[in-house]
Amino acid sequence: MRILSTITIALICSLLSFSCKEQPKTTEKADVFAQADSIIKNIQIPQFPDKEFNIMDFGALADGKTDNTQAFIKAIAECSNSGGGKVIVPAGAFLTGPIHLKSNVNLHLNEGATVLFSTDQKAYLPMVHTSYEGVELMNYSPLIYAYKQKNIAITGKGTFDGQADNENWWPWCGNNKYGHLEGTPQQRDDHNLPALRKMNEERTPVAERIFGEGHQLRPTFLEPFECENVLIQGVTFTNAPFWVIHPIKSNSVTVNGVTVRSHGPNNDGCDPEYSKNVHIVNCTFDTGDDCIAIKSGRNNDGRRVNIPSENIVVENCMMKDGHGGVVMGSEISAGVRNVFVRNCSMDSPNLDRAIRIKTNTLRGGFVENVFVRNIKVGQVKEAVLRINTYYGIYANQEGDFSPSIKNIHLEDIEVENGGEYGVLIKGRRENPVKNVTFTNVHIKNAKTPLSVENSEPIQFTNSSINRTAY
């Protein structure tokens, strides 16, 4: 009897243990986006004293011609030195050079205000510590820049116009579509990107990576560099020289209700890099490159810095034109994890992909724990999900750093026109893509439903491509 009791108890314990082990599977989905909510809750929105500093009181003129650089400098300095507050840009057109934000300053554009950035490239000197395509360097100042500042904001209903076009900044990309003339300097000349790439490979100290005047590497538009508690809200960005919103090495960043309408070369909408706890919400992206691209450094620079981008939530956004809706890479050598995308709309004949991961064996890095839910896709050109571990625009993109991609989950997604492929995955034989799941995903009108290489089988649940269940 005693033996029977022991067996019975062991069986009951075994069943209880099995039940406990199975239980997380039934709650996992609910818990996933609770984690996103927790990330948002813990992001600090900067608060400011109720004090205003109008740039007109510091000598600014709203004629679109007068250089108001000093008025911005003085107003921001006075605001910061007085303990913080709001620097007001009233309605009108204000020309300026670069704007450098200070701690506890909210740069606020009233409705009808337009900040026009100078087309004199020397205005963006002296050089500052910045980054170009995932590599740190000393270069022209970003148009709006904050370095090691805390509690900063850019708010309002006005517009920042970078005034980049086929005569200013864009020709340096080297493409005649953007005004480049054969024989004139461009970024692929030996003293530009090739020199920077070599410095990256040789681990040259950042202070010795001197570019700026005499070089052709375009500045970013807005760059909080090593900043904490950043708010960008309500404003519009247009005509960017290069990447538009680039939080780098920053923590606790909110991008809310922003419109990016900029179709120049490399005009990514928002590129968090080496950054964590980022909330991108209620925004519209209509861009010349990726709408949102999450990055973490290029090659040796990313491995040197070794700060993954993590805890990033994208929700209630609209993606129009762009190379990708939400993208991870290609500058991704320090890795990306814990990305949550929900309640977004992606629709344009000029939107190439919805969700995209791009890397190669020079970049390496990892992407893990990506959760995408409740997305409406009108149409994309190439694919709904595109994972490419052979990404490369230039030659020689093979190296010794095999990327790791795993835990990519898409759920509750409706696609009207899936483009060339429903799903396009090119993994690596030595390290295949792992644990990709589709739940309640329905893709219509894809020319080729699936093209999958070197990946674990996609786990389909209640999903279809071209009305065929998978």
What is the end-to-end Cα distance of the chain in Å, rounded?
52
Buried b (16+ CB within 10 A) or exposed e, 121-134: bebbeebbbbbbbb
Q: Is 171 helix (H, G, I), strand (E, B) or coil?
A: helix
Q: Across the strands, what pairs with 114? A: 93, 159
Chain-centre distance for alpha carbon 64: 31
- DSSP string computed for 123-151: GG-S-EEEEETTEEEEESPPSEEEES-EE
Q: Choosing from 180, 215, 279, 323, which is the catalytic residue?
A: 323
Instruction: Establish whether 120 is a catalytic residue.
Output: no
Determine contact, residues 179/170, Cβ cutoff 8 Å: yes
Q: Radius of gyration of the chain from Cα atoms?
A: 24
Rounded to 5°, angle at Cα 110 from 105 and 114: 100
DSSP 96: E
Residues in CB range of 269: below 8 A, 6 or more apart: 244, 245, 260, 262, 283, 285, 287, 290, 291, 292, 322
Q: Choosing from 268, 271, 286, 289, which is the catalytic residue?
A: 289
Residues in CB range of 285: below 8 A, 6 or more apart: 260, 269, 270, 291, 292, 317, 318, 319, 320, 322
Instruction: Establish whether 289 is a catalytic residue.
Output: yes
Phi, psi of 397 (to 5 degrees): -110, 15
Determine the Cα–Cα distance for residues 436 and 433; give it in Å rounded to an integer.
8
- Residues serving a catalytic function are 289, 323
